[in-house]
Structure 1
Amino acid sequence: MPARYCQDSPDAIASCVLEDMVLLYHRPSGQTHMAIAPVPEILATLDDGAALTAGELLGQLAQLYDLGEPEEALPLVEAHLAELAALGLVRIA
């Protein structure tokens, strides 16, 4: 069964856009992270509280963005989710 990812709470992360980069302040840890696409887009998709698999997340992102072939994009989305989970910005539900 694939892992499902979600954010802890809608107010756990504050963001500030600086040109092509986004600063993400994670309130629970007190850490600030610098991110570029597609990380802000992934977090925005998970922002509604839904717990999504990497495939479901990719499907939602593909409706808004040209991500190329799904078989090539899915491993990248999975890698981003793993990194975000390691940083505490998302969690496995």
Structure 2
Amino acid sequence: MTEAAYRADPPEARRVIALDGVALIFHRPSGLTHIVAPPALQILDALGEGEAGPQTLLDRLKRDFDFGDGEDLEAALEARLAELETAGLVWRA
């Protein structure tokens, strides 16, 4: 079975304002503003490289962040992707 691939609008479709530990994202296509916490912006940035499934996204994120060992990172990432999908910031390709 192939993993689900996700897509996001290009970075220019979002206006981001960082605040103490959270960010406001104005999503131009929908006209909605979202309040997000890490790793939402990092996931959206990783999707800026092109559509990807959870394992590919995790590999992209590992280039810049040290996640350590002992966690089910793919399951955690899939949960964040589901939240972003519900918000309309990502969708399945």
TM-score clears 0.5: yes
> 1:16 is aligned with what amino acid?
I
Q: Is the 8 A contact 2:11 2:45 kept in 1?
A: no
Distance in structure 2 (CA, Å) of the matches to 1:24 and 1:84: 12
TM (norm. structure 2) is 0.87
User: How large is the Cα RMSD of the aligned pairs?
Assistant: 1.6
Unaligned runs of 5+ in 2: none
- Find out whether 1:36 has 2:47 as its counterpart: no
Unaligned runs of 5+ in 1: none
Q: What is the aligned partner in structure 2 of residue 89 from structure 1?
A: 89
TM (norm. structure 1) is 0.87
Worse overlay, 38-47 or 61-70: 61-70
Q: Is the 8 A contact 2:5 2:54 kept in 1?
A: yes
Distance in structure 1 (CA, Å) of the matches to 2:15 and 2:70: 30
Q: For this pair of structures, how many residues does the alignment match?
A: 92
% same residue: 37
